Amino acid sequence: MNLPKKLTNKLNIREENNSLRKLSPQNNLVDFSSNDYLGFAKSEVIFDETHQLLITKNSKQNGATGSRLLSGNHFLYDEVELFLSEFHQAETATIFNSGYDANIGLFSCVPQRNDVILYDEFCHASIRDGIQLSNAKSFKFLHNNLADLEKRVLAMKADAITYEFEIYVVTESVFSMDGDSPDLISIAEICKKYNIYLIVDEAHAVGVFGVQGSGLVQKLQIQDAVFARIITFGKALGCHGAAILGSNDLQSYLVNFGRSFIYTTGLSPHSLATIQIAYHALRKNSTKTESPYKKLNRNIQFFKSEITQLQLPLFYLDATSKISYGFIESNSAIHSCIIPGNTRVKKIAEKLRKMGFETKAILSPTVPKQQERLRFCLHSYNSKKEIREVLYLLSIFVKKEL
């Protein structure tokens, strides 16, 4: 049966804009594209220890058998959620099947009708989708702009007293497309000042920042000022699933009203065991000199030093608002080089691929037009030689294309 005409037209537009997405097989190129920051997804030690944990606990079950509210709340859920709450210094942790499910569940049910959500304009699609499912009103504030955030809070706060609605501020500790971070301490102070609720997505910070990789919120010691934290296990932890950290009351509310929690089959015992073993590996090895955590952070610093050494520019908008190319300032595992134009950035990514390096071209409409970019994800297992070579090649290819 043919695809409906409207859908065909939308695909044709993507094709014309050189932005049509396609699935590609895994390859053996040097990895500068995956979210496996610590190499845990490929760890045979974690694989073997996960299997042994299930054998030791006599858990020989392939699936959860149902939703957690029916038959799927197997014993590993309690163990892992307790561990996560202690590790992340929260009252409770509520596990969801993915980061997308966690954000959909949280934002669709917690903010109520007439409440207001103020979210950073660069927040992830899963946050935006959850907000769209909410009955609350929502407004963007300029990316990492505290003045714009406070101005919007003040505009809403006067009405909030009269009409009795709550205000939620939403941001990420590391933004997935830019790799940068907001001033979380100042945002927390604004939220405390005006008695509003702060929600922080820590997907790309856990395993990269903080003591034992606990995340940026704990590194800054503001966990008690955050209403809800979203952590995911598909990045640095190398497995699958997510959790919402918060109060006991928040957990009770999510269990009763979070539709993406209620109406889905739970994670298998194997998935929960992998999360637990991955966290043990993170905690056990984080202080060792040759730990993946330490290697990753050394690679981040080396990558930044090579950008300077090769005189690759930092991204900026010039006086005429003409887009210039260059790297967005970042201290995380994500480093994005703005290369305007879908065709241009895809061409450079393909050249790097032919030289043995896998990087991802991020195209519009995923990012704004003229802010297309090559996104480099750094890992504990990338060598200095690989980092130096990929940046050197980038500097040559960019000069030929711009």
Contact 270, 50 (CB under 8 A): yes
pLDDT at 314 over 90: no
Instruction: Please compute Rg for the chain using Cα positions.
Output: 22
pLDDT band at residue 308, thresholds of 50, 70 and 90? very high
Average pLDDT of span 227-237: 98
How much is the pLDDT for 12? 95
Asked if 238 and 303 sit in the same domain, the reply is: no
Asked if 270 and 313 sit in the same domain, the reply is: no
Q: Of 264, 268, 272, which Cα lies nearest the Cα of 83? A: 272
Q: How far apart are the first and last CA of the chain?
A: 44
pLDDT band at residue 52, thresholds of 50, 70 and 90? very high
Domain termination site, one of 268, 285, 302:
285
pLDDT band at residue 159, thresholds of 50, 70 and 90? confident
How much is the pLDDT for 374? 96
Asked if 305 and 186 sit in the same domain, the reply is: no
Average pLDDT of span 3-8: 95
Asked if 166 and 183 sit in the same domain, the reply is: yes
Asked if 58 and 205 sit in the same domain, the reply is: yes
Average pLDDT of span 57-82: 95
How much is the pLDDT for 131? 98
Instruction: Report how far residue 60's alpha carbon sits from residue 252's, in angstroms, rounded to the nearest whole number.
Output: 30
Contact 259, 108 (CB under 8 A): yes
Asked if 60 and 196 sit in the same domain, the reply is: yes
What is the percent of the chain with per-residue pLDDT over 90, rounded to a whole number?
85
- pTM score, two decimals? 0.94
Residue 279 lies in a domain: yes
Residue 36 lies in a domain: no
Average pLDDT of span 42-57: 96
Average pLDDT of span 94-122: 97
Contact 117, 131 (CB under 8 A): yes
Q: How many domains does the chain have?
A: 2
What is the percent of the chain with per-residue pLDDT over 70, rounded to a whole number?
96
Asked if 74 and 217 sit in the same domain, the reply is: yes
pLDDT band at residue 160, thresholds of 50, 70 and 90? low
pLDDT at 36 over 50: yes
Domain termination site, one of 285, 318, 346:
285
pLDDT digits 0-9 by tens, 318-357: 545 455 789 999 999 999 999 999 999 999 999 999 999 9
How much is the pLDDT for 362? 94
Residue 26 lies in a domain: no
Residue 16 lies in a domain: no
pLDDT band at residue 158, thresholds of 50, 70 and 90? confident
Average pLDDT of span 113-118: 96
pLDDT band at residue 288, thresholds of 50, 70 and 90? confident
pLDDT digits 0-9 by tens, 172-195: 999 999 999 999 999 999 999 999
- Name the least confident of 17-21, 93-97, 205-209: 17-21
Average pLDDT of span 290-302: 95
Instruction: Report how far residue 231's alpha carbon sits from residue 376's, in angstroms, rounded to the nearest whole number.
Output: 21
Q: Which residue has the higher pLDDT, 197 or 325?
A: 197
CATH label of the domain that carries residue 307: 3.90.1150.10
CATH label of the domain that carries residue 59: 3.40.640.10
Average pLDDT of span 3-21: 92
Report the chain's mean pLDDT, rounded to a whole number. Answer: 94
Domain termination site, one of 285, 305, 339:
285
Question: Looking at the chain, how many residues does it have?
Answer: 402
The CA-based dihedral angle spanning residues 272, 275, 277, 283, taken in that order and rounded to the nearest 10 degrees: -140
Cβ neighbours of residue 318 under 8 Å, at least 6 residues apart? 324
Asked if 267 and 294 sit in the same domain, the reply is: no
Q: Of 66, 69, 126, 112, which Cα lies nearest the Cα of 256? A: 69
Asked if 247 and 329 sit in the same domain, the reply is: no
Asked if 214 and 300 sit in the same domain, the reply is: no
pLDDT digits 0-9 by tens, 123-150: 999 999 999 999 999 999 999 999 999 9
Contact 97, 252 (CB under 8 A): no
Asked if 187 and 265 sit in the same domain, the reply is: yes
Residue 378 lies in a domain: yes
Residue 33 lies in a domain: no
Residue 8 lies in a domain: no
Average pLDDT of span 384-389: 98
Question: What is the residue range of 343's domain?
Answer: 289-401
How much is the pLDDT for 323? 55
How much is the pLDDT for 400? 74
How much is the pLDDT for 161? 67
- The crossing angle, in degrees rounded to 10, of helices 248-257 and 99-109 is 90
Residue 171 lies in a domain: yes
pLDDT at 293 over 90: yes
Q: What is the largest CA-CA distance in the chain?
A: 66
* DSSP structural state of residue 37: T
Asked if 182 and 207 sit in the same domain, the reply is: yes
Q: Of 274, 249, 314, 232, which Cα lies nearest the Cα of 51? A: 274
